[in-house]
Structure 1
């Protein structure tokens, strides 16, 4: 039985759509997870043919689980993950058990923000940065910091903005570093220069060293206590000059990482005509991204990524060029969700393609400190950029979260 094994998923978004894509490609799907609630909600995962509750943080255990699957007659064609922390693990296991096509070493470096900066340090696309080692005295290190404020303070393993802090002055820098050290006392800390300007997310697939720009998305970032993306605008038609300047910048990054085959998304800002890399991740962006690309260009990117990783040629021809805007929903204060109203009304707006509400009744909601704290989204499409955004924002006004306020402590 031709089988694809997935290591972890979210209930919705790109990682879940990858499992659905594998099922559509007629593979038997196996999910390895350490989330007990998924077993309790088993009926909500019809696309997962076999769910195994196991310790996915233990590499030797994963090897044992996969050996056991093979013993039961599963012909394992691929081991994949679309979740942070497990992309590299899955690539290593694929290398061990299957014919792996992805550039594993590149994934390893991309998953760590400090290793990423070291790979790119001699390129114009790189930001100025410093690395704090926990063996150093914090007070001694701070005396050597000559970078101008504001600075961005990051954990090298951070994902979804959870451990990315803005320091506008020395006091905030000390506070930010102490916050990260409290959480991970033995981990290095990355300090980067803060650059201003419009931010773009670029979804890329590399096949036999050829770079394919799948989608370019303008990001709208709202600063709560963290940098949270609250709006994504997928550009239908791309200005030729913008396309080639992005392509040149991305080529330099792909070459530096020596990516032969693989998927990644880059977050970039343009400063004085020069592209600067904010982040790179070795997978498609999560949340609504796969759906946005499908609506905007007719490409199911997770499906084509699976094809690539299986050694097949991905189908990347764009069927159309729509503008897509996704507005993410957040709440202003902490509280218990009583009910959500307006979803049906919002869905009926002409141009709205999807309305997704994440939390269930009784959930505890709070202002976002990570992308995972966002409460849902409204996704709209049009052949006009401004119209797609207008529709999404108007439709989002219909949605209301009725919250019972709670104590403000996290």
Structure 2
């Protein structure tokens, strides 16, 4: 289920990486978060540029030391989803499958999610087998995991297995649909309790839309919040305020908030979350209005 990859610690290895992986490929830090630094490279010039930038960053977003190594992977086409799980004493419980909406090339930044994604029984079983098999192979036997997977012509291919609860309101999606809180279950595991996770039943659907400004600037105000919040079933969750610096969309750190909706169906919830997001206008100090 793994994708062909190579960890590069010296620029002299780039030619070998091209021979082994070919173009296009994905370049990213071997350990980070929020899609920071992830990009597609299509030729040697882009690969060298990605190497120079990523290898030069020696502190993570959390302030932890980085080695300067760069992880290169063969690019695989396919629809990407994530699988949310909780492993207790070596047994992995699956909450369900989350959709992943992406902006696309050259960076792969998430712009929204829905839960749960319905799949035919055979396809779902193959996906779960890929995820559970991956966690068993790496010896992950206790705790939450957020595993990103792509459905390719050759089957499910694991992109990343992240040993943590997911971000961007995905735990809210799971909680509203299943009645189980991955965060609470993880806390219980931490203090030595065994959460009663199974059986997991789905009821309704939920969606979240991630909000990004289109230009840099100092935030003056956000218009349309009341109109967005008036959309049935929608919560508006912003984490910026007047005076904050808005970033351009390069990774998920530029996200300024969410519109969130739960309801009887994930696609209906997605439409309502999108409708609410369309009401939001971000105005920066120079008077520019950001949609």
Structure 1: segments with no counterpart, 5+ residues: 1-124
Corresponding residue of 1:55: none
- Quote the Cα distance in structure 2 between the aligned partners of 1:259 and 1:366: 36
**Residue 13 of structure 2: aligned partner:** 141
Q: Does 1:213 align with 2:94?
A: yes
Q: TM-score, normalised by structure 2?
A: 0.89
With over 3 angstroms needed to count, the CA separation of the structure-2 counterparts of 1:372 and 1:192, relative to structure 1, is same
Would you say 1:370 and 2:244 are equivalent positions?
A: no
- The residue aligned with 1:347 is 229
Distance 1:186 1:299 in 2: 38
Taking the aligned partners of 2:266 and 2:202, their CA distance within structure 1 comes to 14
Q: Which has the higher helix share?
A: 1
Q: 3-state SS of the aligned residue for 1:183?
A: coil
Structure 2 partner of 1:296: 177
Instruction: Work out the CA distance in 2 between the residues paired with 1:332 and 1:238.
Output: 34
Query: For residue 172 of structure 1, what is the aligned residue in structure 2?
Result: 46
Q: 1:401 aligns with which of 258, 279, 282?
A: 282
SS in 2 for 1:285: coil
**2-side partners of 1:340 and 1:253: how far apart?**
43
> How much has 1:381 moved relative to structure 2?
2.0
SS at match of 1:227: coil
Name the CA distance, whole Å, in 2 between partners of 1:221 and 1:241. 26
1:132-281 equivalent positions in 2, closer than 5 A: 132-134=8-10, 138=11, 140-144=12-16, 145-146=18-19, 147-184=21-58, 186-223=67-104, 226-235=107-116, 239-281=120-162
Alpha-carbon separation, structure 1, partners of 2:122 and 2:286: 50
Q: Counterpart in 2 of 1:118?
A: none
Shift of 1:300: 1.4
Aligned-pair CA distance for 1:205? 0.4
Query: What does residue 327 of structure 1 align with?
Result: 209
Is the Cα contact below 8 Å between 1:235 and 1:324 reproduced in 2? Answer: yes
State which structure, 1 or 2, has the greater radius of gyration over its C-alpha atoms: 1
Q: CA deviation at 1:126?
A: 0.6
Normalising by structure 1, what TM-score? 0.64
Deviation at 1:237, TM superposition (A): 5.2
Q: Deviations over 1:299-355 (max 9, x none)?
A: 111001111232222132446422111111001111110101222221221132x21
Q: Would the aligned equivalents of 2:4 and 2:73 in 1 still touch at CA under 8 Å?
A: yes
Where does residue 358 of structure 1 map in the other structure?
239
When the two structures are aligned, how many residues end up with a matched partner? Answer: 277
Q: Per the alignment, in what secondary structure is the counterpart of residue 232 of structure 1? A: strand
